[in-house]
């Protein structure tokens, strides 16, 4: 097992999920629930399944495209999202 890759994946997903809408949904569900443990296990199972699907899809796409091209596509996609969030998706003007 590649421990470095395991740690890098954990840190990346952990930091990207902090304050994410899925975490806020889990907070909302557990606040109105008598069983926060069930909310935890449901949310954990959902995150595991989506991560599994992402890893499988990434592995399949990596067979078709070179890694450098995948990184470039991801970088362009994130840049487009950032530009849209900064300039085109705000009701409030930047101050």
Task: Give me the average pLDDT of each 10-residue run along the chain (95 residues).
Answer: 90 83 86 89 92 90 90 92 82 56
So what's the pLDDT on residue 93? 56
pTM over 0.85: no
- 10 Å Cβ neighbour count for 9? 13
* Residue 52 CA: distances (Å) to CA of 4, 14, 47, 56: 19, 15, 8, 6
Helix/strand/coil for 15: helix
So what's the pLDDT on residue 92? 59
So what's the pLDDT on residue 33? 84
So what's the pLDDT on residue 45? 94
């Amino acid at each position: 097992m590649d421990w470095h890759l395991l740690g890098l994946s954990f840190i990346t997903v952990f930091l990207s999920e902090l304050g994410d809408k899925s975490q806020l949904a889990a907070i909302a569900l557990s606040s109105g629930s008598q069983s926060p443990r069930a909310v935890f296990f449901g949310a954990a199972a959902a995150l595991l399944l989506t991560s599994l699907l992402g890893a499988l899809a990434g592995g399949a796409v990596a067979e078709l495209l070179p890694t450098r091209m995948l990184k470039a596509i991801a970088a362009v996609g994130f840049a487009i999202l950032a530009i849209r969030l900064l300039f085109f998706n705000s009701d409030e003007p930047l101050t």
